[in-house]
Amino acid sequence: MEEFIAGRTEDRNREMAPKEKFSKLFEELKSCSVSEQKEKIKEMNRLMEEMNKEELKYVCTTELFNKIDQMIEEEKLTMENAILLLKHMGYCNMLLNMINLSFMDSSLSLGFVKMIVKEDKKKEERNEKLLTELCECYLLFNVGTSSQLISVCVPCLLKASLKKDENEEAQKEKEMALLALCNMNVYNKVEIALYLNEIKEIIQYHQKHRNLTRLAYQSAWGFLMTEFFNDKSLEEVITNELHFAREVESELDGLMQSVDWKKKEEEMEKTERKAMNIISRWIRSICHYFYSCHLWNEECVELISRIVDVLLASRDNHSEIGEEYIQSFIVVAKNGAVIFDVLLKSGAIDAAFEEIQRRTLNRVMTSEILRFFHLISMRLKEKEDGEMEEAKRKELKRKIFEKMEEEGFEDIITSFFEKFSYIFANHDVFIYL
């Protein structure tokens, strides 16, 4: 009889959705031994890897974080086990490119701030591993961070990322540290000059030894490119010393080969979904670069060509990636330093023409491509300084409008320009970069 009941219970558990299994296991943590807690948390972490965004939002609530804080306070959950759960929870949120504000609204967030400050003040006696993990947990969930915590967390996580060990566990730890650093946004004022040597060393060491995972490498660049958005003096280092465009072009090429683009997301293997998420994560860094870059070279053309490849490969089953990547064309078109020959040579204009003629094109992509065309039209109507530059502009304008006429778009673009100009002049319209 007992075996029958146990079997029925096991069947019911199998029928439960991952988010429901997660909640059930979480409630069981209070009455478990430390070792039992650890095993249950490992299962909870596995379940989170199966969840989509909506399911992860369902479990990652302010209420859950408050309960974790209370369990730590009442010594019903060890700090080691709490960190094991929270780090993976933050990792899964980041991998799905989620912004989760629930942690910031919880008592656990304040508790972590106090623990980080307290551990940092210990100086020689402090537990470096604990401090690193506390910083990781905090930054993985917090898009806004105080200058006091930045001065503690940034050097701590960079130090952890600089370790040269290349075994699987060390790679995972470096990935986590860099992923946490990458989560800071452009409003977090980091004095990058204090940390430039460290992040350069991390990137250059990987370029030579390939010691980071693809996600960790993307995150290292993500941290640096966020600071580039605020500090344009980094351009020479990023473009000519670290070769951002060349490196991203190579990374996107490798990631694209890891994905069977004929599959829909639900049909993909776990490794394929992760590769897709990393491809998606690159777009913010690419846009930051194109927005601020004035040192255009052949590497930039190759990068835009690779973005065209991503756009075309993703259009049938993963159009949301195409929607993200068309943003980079828009940013390029808005960059006053860009000669439009770059967009012709890279295939970006051809790809936009090809995309907008597809019958299955959705409203978002249509809007983004029309904005791209509109920006080109506006830029081509601008006057250039000097007879030589003006002559180049006119020749380029002739080439582009010939292509538009060839594709049947010349009258349409002119019409868009007139209508958009009227709308922008007479209505309060917000244009997203």
The reported pLDDT for the residue numbered 431 is 35
Q: How far is CA 144 from the centre of its chain?
A: 16
CB count in 10 Å sphere of residue 411: 10
The answer on pLDDT for 401 being more than 80 is no
- Whether residue 211 contacts residue 171, with contact meaning beta carbons closer than 8 Å, is answered with yes
Q: How many CB atoms lie within 10 A of CB 381?
A: 11
CB-count exposure of residue 125 (10 Å: 0-12, 13-18, 19+)? exposed
Does pLDDT of 220 surpass 60? yes
Residues 6 or more apart in contact with residue 390 via CB below 8 angstroms? 383, 384
Task: Judge contact between 279 and 215, C-beta under 8 A.
Answer: no
Structural contact between residues 80 and 40, judged by C-beta atoms closer than 8 angstroms = no
| pLDDT per position as a tens digit, 24-62 | 999 999 889 999 999 999 999 999 998 988 999 999 999
Say yes or no to pLDDT of 428 above 50.
Answer: no
What are residue 162's phi and psi, to 5 degrees? -80, -10
Which bin fits 61, alpha (ψ -120 to 50), beta or left (φ > 0)? beta
Provide the sign of the torsion angle of the four alpha carbons 20, 78, 42, 149, taken in this order: positive
User: Is the separation of the CB atoms in 208 and 271 below 8 Å?
Assistant: no
The whole-number average pLDDT for the span 65-71 is 96
Q: Do residues 136 and 94 touch, judged by C-beta distance below 8 A?
A: no
**What pLDDT does residue 323 have?**
86
Q: Give pTM, 2 decimals.
A: 0.87
pLDDT digits (tens, 9 = 90+) for 315-363: 888 888 988 889 899 999 888 777 777 888 898 988 888 887 776 667 7
